[in-house]
């Protein structure tokens, strides 16, 4: 493989990595905002379909590794009391 080709591949991989990191940051913000919203909900005041949707969202968020969830909360400057 020529040096020029290696540089082009390296640049392409760098650009892809930067794109993935930006997407991760956006997804962390979304997850953090969703976790904050779920934490504030009073399910007694909501229609059952809304509670079911919130439960699905909470279940999905809880599948995140602890470090990723903390990163998500930090991305929106939120904390969740245990």
User: Measured between alpha carbons, how far is 37 from 50 in angstroms, rounded to an integer?
Assistant: 13
pTM for the full predicted model: 0.79
Tens-place pLDDT, residues 10-63: 999 999 999 999 999 999 999 999 999 998 899 898 999 999 999 999 999 999
Alpha carbons 31 and 61: distance in angstroms, whole number: 7
pLDDT tens column, 51-74: 999 999 999 999 999 999 999 999
């Amino acid at each position: 493989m020529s040096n020029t080709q290696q540089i082009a591949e390296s640049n392409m991989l760098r650009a892809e990595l930067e794109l993935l990191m930006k997407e991760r940051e956006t997804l962390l913000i979304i997850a953090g905002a969703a976790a904050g919203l779920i934490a504030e909900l009073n399910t007694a005041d909501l229609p059952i379909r809304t509670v079911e949707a919130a439960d699905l969202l909470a279940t999905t968020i809880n599948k995140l590794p602890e470090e990723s969830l903390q990163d998500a909360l930090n991305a929106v400057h939120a904390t969740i009391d245990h």
